[in-house]
Amino acid sequence: MRYPAIFFDQTGRKIVLKQAPRRIISLVPSQTELLFDLGLHEEVVGITKFCIHPREQYQRKTRIGGTKQVNLDKIRALKPDLIIANKEENSKDQILDLAREFPLWISDIITFEAAMEMIQSLGNMLNREIQAKDLISRISTAFGQLPHIANPPSVAYFIWRKPWMVAAKGTFIHTLLEYAGFSNYFAHLERYPEIALTTLKDDQPDFIFLSSEPYPFQEKHLDVLSADYPASKVVLVDGEFFSWYGSRLLHAAAYFRNLRDKLTVNS
C-alpha cells in the first residue's frame, strides 16, 4: 500500500494515514479482541479497562480508562498513529477531541453486514486483508448454518437495572437475537429504552434474558423476576456473544445453538 493513504470510516469520515499504523489505541473491547486476532500484537499499544480479551494482552498493554471516560493524557503519552473507536460505545465529545489530534476511525454497527464490513475495513487499513477475509468467511459460514425458526419465541433482553433497561430495535443485540432464533419482545421500541416491569404483566414474553454486561446480572436476580413473571423463563446469558461485533462472532453461532438446545430441553 502506498502512503499517504485515505480511508473512510463507517460514519463517512475521511482518515489520512501517513504510514502503516505502528501504534494503535483501541477504545472498544470487541474491536480490541479483533485486532489481536488479526495478528496486531505489537502494534496495539493502548486499550480500555474493559478490553479483557485476550487475557495475556490485557495484562501487557497500557490501559487508558474506560470506553466512556478515557484518559487523554495517557493517550497523548502513547503517541498513537491510529485510534479505533465506536459511535455508540464511546463518548462523542472525547472522540471529537481525539480526532483533532490523531487519525481516528469510528465504527457504526447495528447489522450483521455492518460488522462484517468493519472487520474487512480494518483488515484493509491495517494490511491484514487476507486474515480479515478468512475470518469473515468462517463467521458467515457458522451463522449460515444456524437453523431457521418458523415461530421464534419472544425474548425481553435486559441490559440494566435501576433503572430497568432493555435492548430494542435498532441495536446489534436485536440483530443477533433474530439470528439466534428469537423474537425481540421490545421490537416496537428503539435503542435502549427504560421500561417499567409492569409492562410485562399482561403479555409475558416466553423468555427473559439477563445479560452479563453491561450490568452484571447474577443468580439472585433470576429469583426476583421468576417470582413476578411465572409465565416467562428467566435466563442468564453471556452478553459478549450478543453484543460484541468483532472476532467473538466466530464463537457466537455455536453459543446460540447451544442456548436454544438448552432452552428447548428445559422448556
Is the bond into 54 cis (omega within 30 degrees of 0)? yes
80 with 30, same domain? Answer: yes
Output the CA torsion sign for 79, 84, 89, 91. Answer: positive
* Residue 112 is assigned to a structural domain of this protein: yes
Q: What is the pLDDT of residues 196-219, one digit of tens each?
A: 888 887 789 999 999 999 999 999
Domain harbouring 218, CATH code: 3.40.50.1980
59 with 107, same domain? Answer: yes
9 with 120, same domain? Answer: yes
* Residue 147 is assigned to a structural domain of this protein: no
69 with 111, same domain? Answer: yes
Torsions phi, psi for 242 (to 5 deg): -95, -15
pLDDT at 267: 54
pLDDT at 78: 98
| 158 contacts 211 by C-beta, under 8 angstroms | yes
| 17 contacts 7 by C-beta, under 8 angstroms | yes
Look-up of cell digits 473491547: 29
How many structural domains compose the chain?
2
Distances (CA, A) of 36 to 32, 166, 170, 254: 7, 30, 28, 21
Q: What integer is the mean pLDDT of 185-192?
A: 96
**Which residues span the domain enclosing 186?**
154-266
17 with 138, same domain? Answer: yes
pLDDT at 47: 98
176 with 76, same domain? Answer: no
